[in-house]
């Protein structure tokens, strides 16, 4: 967590004016935040992931890699979606 930087809203605006912050992606949603947003904002750190060694079929790995950078993140997202779907399914069976 040593690479986390802190900046005030004023500092962020100055960085944006200097061109140090990239503009949002085309089509990105623009949310109107209440004036008190930054006063109540809290940093939420992601849960640490557990490293594993996983054997996958070569064609599966190549398919994910062919989608561009972030193939391991996408593979994690697929696994997460499966787990959540199964939890929902199991919950419906019990309910």
Q: Token pair for residue 91? A: 């919950």
In a domain, 83, yes or no: yes
pTM of the model: 0.52
In a domain, 26, yes or no: no
In a domain, 9, yes or no: no
Mean per-residue pLDDT, 13-41? 87
pLDDT at 1 > cutoff 60:
no
Q: Which of 50, 38, 52, 51 is nearest to 8 (CA)?
A: 38
In a domain, 37, yes or no: no
| Domain coverage including residue 82 | 51-95
Top pLDDT among 24 and 95 is at 24
Question: In the chain, how many domains are there?
Answer: 1
In a domain, 80, yes or no: yes
């Amino acid at each position: 967590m040593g690479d986390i930087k802190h900046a005030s809203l004023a500092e962020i605006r100055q960085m944006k004016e200097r061109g140090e912050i990239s503009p949002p992606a085309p089509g990105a949603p623009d949310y109107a935040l209440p004036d008190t947003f930054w006063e109540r904002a809290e940093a939420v750190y992601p849960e640490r992931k557990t490293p594993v060694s996983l054997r996958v079929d070569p064609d599966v790995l190549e398919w994910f890699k062919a989608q561009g950078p972030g193939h391991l993140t996408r593979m994690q997202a697929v696994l997460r979606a499966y787990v959540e779907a199964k939890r929902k399914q199991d919950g419906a069976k019990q309910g």
